[in-house]
Chain A
Amino acid sequence: METVHQTPAGKSLAGKPVHTRGIDYKRRGEIFSWVHRGVILLGSLTILFIVLAPVAWLVSSSMQTEAEIVSVPPHWIPDQPTLKNFRAIFSAGDEDVTYETRSTQDPSSGNYIPSTARNLLPAMRNSFVVATLVVILNLLVGVPAAYAMAKIRFLGRTGSVYFILTTRVIPDIALVVPFFLVIKNLGLLDNIMSLVITYLAITVPFTVFILIQYFEGLPDELDKAARVDGCSRFQTLTKVYLPLALPSLVAVILFAFLTSWNEFLLALMFTQTAQSQTLPIVLASFTSDFTISFSFINAAGLLAIVPPVIVAIIFERYIVSGLTAGAVKG
């Protein structure tokens, strides 16, 4: 009988000299645990700093007077915080801005507000309308499609899925030229509907993708049970699956809304005047204006940031769960 088992020469079972063992590893374990916690703390603080510092600076800048904001080195925390910049935004629509009046218009900046300042609030309204329409259309169009592709076996199913995903591969820029010509010829150039339609192209693929993932994670038997109970496909969708798919629906609404709200390039191309301009466009127009009031711009920027951030924070939970349902649990 061959003795296969051997212990490495000179070493005991655990491979180290006998005496100081217990202390060795216990101490090591403790040190490691402290280092581990330290690294986590450091990492967390770093992330918090990297993300919040620029934003905090934005907030601080938006609350400084124009006189203060141009200090060298900068005042990290305003000595005399003021809300006048925000007031200027909201009252900007009240008077016409001309070269003569602009310097008197904004007391806090003491200088110049962009001539397009008064378009800020209407632009926000446009953004909101567009985003809402896009979300609604996304749901109407995307949910049945995703359901069908996830649960029904039909000829061309895989092909459809690939098709939908690949449309998103097209860069937005590539849509611009052909679309611009068409829209121009249709006379729809300065109309928010042109934005709504194009945004659908951008958002629907992702919507369908998320929903398919989620639907696939829901059991097929529900389907069969509902059909046996007498539901048509449509009713199965609305009565059975939809209520269950809530997290992913929230994720979809979130993504579609944010994408529409934040979109810039296409809005730039397809809008000309305040009638249809969305928030990002008006915001960007400030920078190309002449001599600008820094504090005003920062205030406007902050205003643009607030809604999306709030929406994202509220729905944070749903984002990850809506995306990863059907995948592994955390």
Chain B
Amino acid sequence: MARILFENASKRYPNGFVALENLNLEIKDKEFVVLLGPSGCGKSTTLNMIAGLEEVSEGNLFFDDETVNFTPPHHRDVAMVFQSYALYPHKTVYENIAFGLMMRKHPKDDIDRRVRDAAQRLEITHLLDRRPSQLSGGQRQRVALGRAMVRKPAVFLMDEPLSNLDAALRISMRAEIKELHRSMQTTFVYVTHDQAEALTLADRIVVMRNGLVQQIGTPDEIYEHPANTFVASFLGSPPINYLDGELVVQGDKVTFVRGETRLDFAPERGKKLVGQSGRKVKLGIRAEDVDERAEPSSGEVIAGTVTSVLPVGSDQFLGLKVEGEELFFRINKDLRHNYGDKIKLSANTGRLHVFDADTEASLIG
């Protein structure tokens, strides 16, 4: 019903700038897809192309099985929530929400019913007669949502809708959006640079950088099996730690070596690396993939000097200087540490990530 397909799509501007290169992406009906990446990566451009606000320079865009490359926005069944909300300042909240339906010539009573339903749903019924300038940021956002919702579109687009809200509101709105998706049963395409949002909301995430897709997958896939260092760094808070080094393979055993540090890979990981002896790699360890134990076994040790201690509620963040590099780990608060302590942590060798030192691509997929 509402399947979106990008086929070799690119976006080139007259001055030569390429915003998007060779995008191949299929968004299934009713899916919640998040386009994630830093500014300038092309995610908003992609969204605009789905909306019809920007033209596809090369390649094709299909809605279901039709090419919609040249279809103007008002002939596409999409609705959009803008980062700045873009509410019509001279219309009341009611008129703002009703506008899309009015343009599509819905009957008056139908419009009224829908607007009031949406207002009730979003708890803004008492604001229907106000102007946008009289509303708070959170209220405006709801109106923007209402305006899009009320059209019952086939595709629901959102361009960083939460970035102008304060932190607490952001978190509660995330839940509401998730619930909205569930109840509307519509395809959602959501753009953000906030990885936490992506992880909580998405069915699938598309990670982008400089106009190129880095990886497409479920939040789990992307988090557990990042395709390259960029994706690995982008998701996860605090960001993943890296250590440059070498792989040494002896029979079945694959070891990462750097200076005094030796980490043996658990068998499921190790077997993908057989035959890579001598290869220069970047090892990735997430901050939470370590433990503090009495005596770590030999192939699991990360030893270093404490450079900082940051208690965070139930855990503590430890800055550890390992082999000359500063790494950050999150461990529980059982043991107290001080600056300069030499400690050993136990790494979870089943969750180590390995990337080629040059291409930065993942070696374990």
Contacts and interface: CB of A to CB of B under 8 A. Distances in A.
On whether the two chains bind one another, the answer is yes
A26 B70 contact: yes
What's the dominant secondary structure at chain A's contact region? Answer: loop
A153 interface: no
A4 B2 contact: no
B183 A16 contact: no
Contacts of B185: 1, 3-5
Contacts of A29: 70, 72
User: Which range contains the number of A residues in contact with the other chain?
Assistant: 10 to 19
B68 A21 contact: yes
Interface in A2-29: 2-7, 12-16, 18, 21-22, 25-26, 28-29
B328 interface: no
What's the dominant secondary structure at chain B's contact region? Answer: loop
Given A2-B183, A4-B183, A4-B184, A14 B152 contact: no
B66 A13 contact: yes
A198 B246 CA distance: 87
B66 A5 contact: no
Contacts of B63: 12-14
B176 interface: no
Given A4-B152, A5-B185, A22 B70 contact: yes
Contacts of B69: 22, 25-26
Contacts of A14: 63, 66, 68, 71, 75-77
B1 A13 contact: yes
Interface in B310-360: none
A28 B69 CA distance: 12
Interface string A264-300: 0000000000000000000000000000000000000
A12 B183 contact: no
Contacts of B66: 12-14, 18, 21-22
Contacts of B20: none
Contact of A25 (B1, B71, B152): B71
B229 interface: no
Nearest to B149: A4
8 contacts: A7-B77, A12-B63, A12-B64, A13-B77, A13-B155, A14-B75, A21-B66, A22-B69
Interface of A: 1-7, 12-16, 18, 21-22, 25-26, 28-29
Given A12-B66, A14-B68, A28-B70, 16 more contacts: A1-B185, A5-B154, A5-B185, A5-B186, A7-B154, A13-B1, A13-B63, A13-B68, A13-B76, A14-B76, A14-B77, A16-B75, A22-B69, A22-B70, A25-B68, A25-B69
Report the 10 A-B pairs with minimum CB-CB distance, sorted nearest first.
A25-B70, A26-B70, A13-B63, A22-B67, A5-B186, A25-B71, A5-B185, A13-B154, A13-B64, A4-B184
